[in-house]
Homo-oligomer: A and B are copies of this chain.
Amino acid sequence: LKPSGIVTLLTDFGLHDGYVAVMKGVIMTINPGARLVDITHLVEHGSVPQAADLLMEASPYFPEGTIHLAVVDPGVGGKRRPIALEAENRYFVGPDNGLFWPVLARHTAARLIHLTNERYFLHPVSPTFHGRDIFAPVAAYLSLGQSLAEMGEILFDPIPLKRPEPQFEKDRMVGEVVRVDHFGNLITNILEEDVKRLFTPERAFVKMGTLSPLRIHRTYSDVKEGDLIALFGSGGRLEVGVNLGRACDVAGKRSESPLGLRVEVLLLP
């Protein structure tokens, strides 16, 4: 797999400190030709599931040979293993805490390596910042074409991602709200492809919390300004939004946080 020279960065480090810039400096010191792209650095602190979804959704839009560096790492300095893998013609580098589980689940032929070869680390390795001392340099060496196999041993038992999966109960799919985006859209763990396989979307409706049932539409402007709408978002998931408004505020009137809110897809009677 020929590296594209692109390294993406995804963290929960925020934008106020120098942590992300330090990782970029480390990468550019090793590979002055690396081309860096931020995915986001505003993942909720320690939220591995959120980061895993964002990465899985963004990765396919990058060129083959891209290195995806992801550091949401609440266990840094403890027993969790640093890993790297090749899947879908891209590389992924980060902690073994479920971050790459959706990618691994989608691509079972992935080559997964426990990063143990300290030749590719920055020394001394800080116990609190493996992003700088392990993951950034490994990503940089991968972007130079260094072989993944030389960086450690094959790993067979990656840590799975613990999170609720949507269930099919009798005549309905039951999932939940797993993310609120910048526009206030409530993004669920129910996939478009599953709804389309199991239902006729034109004849289905969506129940979320205590809101009135919603038909599934195509785009926001299909309903009046301020009205709630269910639709399949650009990431391939069922969402609830408001045309020119914020669904999270509407749902928020009834519950403290919309995360975890129950969502059902049913067939019209």
- Asked whether, in the complex, the Cβ of A234 is within 8 Å of the Cβ of B132, the reply is yes
Does A116 belong to the interface (CB within 8 Å)? no
Does A148 belong to the interface (CB within 8 Å)? no
Residues of B within 8 A of A13 (CB): 182
Q: How large is the interface on A (under 10, 10 to 19, 20 to 34, 35 or more residues)?
A: 35 or more
Does A160 belong to the interface (CB within 8 Å)? no
A162 CB to nearest chain B CB (Å): 15
- Asked whether, in the complex, the Cβ of A18 is within 8 Å of the Cβ of B40, the reply is yes
A54 CB to nearest chain B CB (Å): 5
- Asked whether, in the complex, the Cβ of B132 is within 8 Å of the Cβ of A61, the reply is yes
Give 13 pairs: A residue, B residue, CB < 8 Å, sorted on A: A5-B32, A14-B181, A16-B181, A17-B40, A19-B234, A21-B37, A22-B57, A25-B37, A26-B61, A28-B62, A77-B218, A77-B221, A78-B221
Which listed residue, B35, B39, B126, touches A18 by the CB 8 Å rule?
A: B39
Q: Which 6 A-B pairs have the closest CB atoms?
A: A14-B182, A77-B219, A129-B234, A25-B61, A127-B219, A25-B62
User: Whole-angstrom distance between the alpha carbons of A248 and B265 in the complex?
Assistant: 42
Does A58 belong to the interface (CB within 8 Å)? yes
- A-side residues, CB < 8 A to B, are 4-6, 8, 12-19, 21-22, 24-26, 28-29, 32, 35-42, 45-46, 54-55, 57-58, 61-63, 66, 74-78, 126-129, 132, 181-183, 218-222, 231, 233-235, 244, 246
> How many copies of the chain does the oligomer comprise?
3
- Asked whether, in the complex, the Cβ of A182 is within 8 Å of the Cβ of B63, the reply is no
A210 CB to nearest chain B CB (Å): 26
Residues of B within 8 A of A19 (CB): 181-182, 234
User: Whole-angstrom distance between the alpha carbons of A42 and B55 in the complex?
Assistant: 21
A122 CB to nearest chain B CB (Å): 9
Q: Which residue of B lies closest to A35 (CB)?
A: B28
User: Whole-angstrom distance between the alpha carbons of A182 and B21 in the complex?
Assistant: 14
- Asked whether, in the complex, the Cβ of B181 is within 8 Å of the Cβ of A126, the reply is no
Residues of B within 8 A of A127 (CB): 218-219
- Asked whether, in the complex, the Cβ of B16 is within 8 Å of the Cβ of A40, the reply is yes
Which listed residue, B14, B22, B128, B182, touches A17 by the CB 8 Å rule?
A: B182
- Asked whether, in the complex, the Cβ of B234 is within 8 Å of the Cβ of A126, the reply is yes
- Asked whether, in the complex, the Cβ of A37 is within 8 Å of the Cβ of B36, the reply is yes
- Asked whether, in the complex, the Cβ of B18 is within 8 Å of the Cβ of A28, the reply is no
